[in-house]
Structure 1
Amino acid sequence: MEFNSNNSIYIQIADRICEQILSDEIAGEDRIPSVREFAADIQVNPNTVMRTYGHLQDQGILYNKRGIGYFVSDNAKDIVMKTKKAEFIKESLPEFFKMMDLLKIDFKELEKIYKKSTNLQN
């Protein structure tokens, strides 16, 4: 996994897990790798993964079955969707709209670009 300097590593790992939940790569009630196994896979300190799992557990996205491991909660996708949507609207959209305005991109042009990029265009 590649990390950038913009966010803490544990947050970047949590974001990646959340993306996997949103894309259905990981489903509710799936067991996720152990702290040590995941740390070895992505080449980080196990304490960093433990912090990630704790962060996601605090949000209700993961839960721990003592002695068995960590699992994705049944409603994790809904929690992640709600959280990420609010974050996107608060943090990304204002800058996006500002650039649209500066570049004189209207919503019809944006819709065409969106359809083309997502192959929705006939």
Structure 2
Amino acid sequence: MKNFFAEFKAFAVKGNVIDLAVAVIIAGAFGKIVASFVNDLVMPLIAAVFGIPNFSELTATINGSEIMVGLFIQTVVDFVVVAFVIFVAVRQINRLKRKEEAAPAPAPVASPEEILLSEIRDLLKEDRQ
């Protein structure tokens, strides 16, 4: 049992697990921001254009069953906004990576030993010819 807890501690303290926990927390906060953006800004603008004050009340009734069309529209808009924000973020990250890759690496500086060995090699080549 002691070994089990030691193994669990080693697992829980690894950097990947902590990074994942931080990512989940940030994603939750980001989800609230996107939900507020969609509910408080985007949906009122869409509602103003279509003349429907509240999409959540938009329903369709088929054979006595109420279909929540407005909630579906809300979910689709949430998805589109999140997908667009993630696309823009990934695009910017890729652009920064390309700039880093495109920057030429500085020429390696040879150590005095390497310079001396290169000179010896060159002298030996001259003697053989």
Q: TM-score when scaled to structure 1? A: 0.28
Find the structure with the greater CA-based Rg.
2
Structure of greater relative contact order (alpha carbons < 8 Å, 6+ residues apart):
1
